[in-house]
Amino acid sequence: MPTEYPVATRDPRLHDAPLLIAARGEHPEVTPVWFMRQAGRSLPEYRKVREGIAMLDSCRRPDLVTEITLQPVRRYGVDAAIFFSDIVVPLKAVGVGLDIKPGVGPVIEQPFRTRADLDRIPELDAGMITDITESVRLLTAELGATPLIGFAGAPFTLASYLVEGGPSRDLGKTKALMYSDPQLWNDLLNRLAQISGEFLRVQVAAGASAVQLFDSWVGALPLADYTRFVRPASSKVLAAVRDLDPTVPRIHFGVQTGELLHAMGEAGADVVGVDFRVPLDEAVTRIGPGRAVQGNLDPALLFAPRDVLRRRVGETLTAGRFASGHIFNLGHGVPPDTDPDQVKYVVDAVHGWKFADYQ
Ligand code: 1CP
């Protein structure tokens, strides 16, 4: 049974925050914008506070989590903060041996191979992550009328790190387990659904206003395998949030998910994140009515001349008008070598855009 929590009282001004208006399927006066990986290595102030502190240690220190989460909000004036953490933090919290290696990503000490490995992944209990509760409380107090987006990794993407042992290009071992032992695969995904669901519930209970479930690598699967082997577990995670607080919008995102967009919405998302490979208006059609979209400027455009960048921002905003709500974002994360002034330029272009001038 999931833990029952009292949900924190939120700042009443959040009701009118553009991000939450768009997530509800309406069009606020100005399109809201935030960026995946808006915190992190592209910011000199981030590099400074992280000096000499390992990634996973920084994620467990409320003072650092608060500072790093707020840095892009201060610098860019984005419409939301995203909680500074990592998708593997809850796995580490339940005792899985892993580390985040600089320049590589998550590395697992003993990759998942057999049923016996399931015993090394216990369920997550709120008591194991009291620091997360504290960080979210500190943050929401500072953020006031700006929403905080909580997040977690979806079961498939978490499983891919556990099975592969680290970042992988083709996810061969993950797919081999899925096809050869569907029962063990299901048990693993259900365990991970409990962990992700609880990680999100803790953030929502402490005051997060929206959540994003990252299924970054699920685009490696064809639709039929996604709906059979993955979606039931993702649905459980999204339902765990809805059951705690149905007013908190759930964003669901993955890379190379052009063929999966509709199905990912059906998993129980209010907003579907779109990567840069599918034109946004086409994505709106694929997702279908009744869900907002988030996306989808190609991160590579942050390295383009400003006239090109501005035109593409405008095209993305114009396509977003056809959606039931649009949250502007990149099609994936901010690259570490991005010039922060280019990011600021995009925020200002989105906020200053006058649709009437371009019709
Ligand atoms: O030392 C460092 O600075 C390490 C770089 C780093 C950072 C800044 C990692 C390692 N994780 C993070 C923070 C992080 N991770 C955030 C918060 C920052 C923000 O968005 O502003 C978030 C939302 C994540 C989520 C995350 N981690 C995802 C899903 C998002 C995505 O990019 O698709 C994934 C896949 C991870 C795993 C991970 N952690 C770190 C890296 C380099 C990776 C990817 C490795 C790979 O390619 O498989």
On whether residue 138 sits in a domain, the answer given is yes
Q: Are strands 98-101 and 81-82 parallel, antiparallel or unpaired?
A: unpaired
Span 189-217, average pLDDT: 98
Q: Give the DSSP letter of residue 154.
A: -
On whether residue 322 sits in a domain, the answer given is yes
On whether residue 4 sits in a domain, the answer given is no
d(CA 328, ligand 1 centre) in Å: 20
On whether residue 61 sits in a domain, the answer given is yes
Residue 137 CA to residue 15 CA, distance in Å, equals 18
Query: Looking at this predicted complex, what is its ipTM?
Result: 0.92
On whether residue 226 sits in a domain, the answer given is yes
Q: Would you state the pLDDT for residue 358? A: 58
**Where residue 135 sits, what CATH number does that domain have?**
3.20.20.210
d(CA 306, ligand 1 centre) in Å: 27
Residues with CB under 6 A from ligand 1: 36-41, 55, 82, 84, 86-87, 100, 102, 105-106, 151, 157, 167, 214, 216, 333
Span 211-221, average pLDDT: 98
Under a CB-based contact definition with an 8 Å cutoff, are residues 243 and 205 in contact? no
Q: φ, ψ for residue 282 (rounded to 5)?
A: -65, -40
Q: Would you state the pLDDT for residue 339? A: 98
On whether residue 238 sits in a domain, the answer given is yes
Tokens of 188: 């693993």
| Domain housing 182 | 12-358
When divided into structural domains, the chain yields a total of 1
On whether residue 23 sits in a domain, the answer given is yes
The annotation status of 176 as a binding-site residue, yes or no, is: no
d(CA 175, ligand 1 centre) in Å: 22
Q: Which residues are catalytic?
A: 37, 41, 50, 86, 161
Q: Which of 37, 330, 332 is the pocket-test mutation for ligand 1 (most atoms within 8 Å of CB)?
A: 37
pLDDT class for 354, splitting at 50, 70, 90? confident
The annotation status of 41 as a binding-site residue, yes or no, is: yes
| Residue 245 burial by Cβ neighbours in a 10 Å radius (0-12, 13-18, 19+) | middle
- Ligand 1 atom 36 nearest Cα: 87
Distance of CA 34 to the CA centre of its chain: 11
d(CA 91, ligand 1 centre) in Å: 14
Q: 3-17, 32-46, 61-75, 243-257: which range is least confident on average?
A: 3-17
pLDDT in tens, 256-275: 999 999 999 999 999 999 99
The annotation status of 126 as a binding-site residue, yes or no, is: no
On whether residue 119 sits in a domain, the answer given is yes
pLDDT of 359 over the 60 cut: no
Q: Would you state the pLDDT for residue 37? A: 97
Which ligand 1 atom is at minimum distance from the Cα of 46? 3
pLDDT class for 46, splitting at 50, 70, 90? very high
Which ligand 1 atom is at minimum distance from the Cα of 38? 21
pLDDT in tens, 163-186: 999 999 999 999 999 999 999 999
292 bridge partner residues: 271
Residue 50 CA to residue 64 CA, distance in Å, equals 8
Span 91-108, average pLDDT: 97
Residue 226 CA to residue 68 CA, distance in Å, equals 34
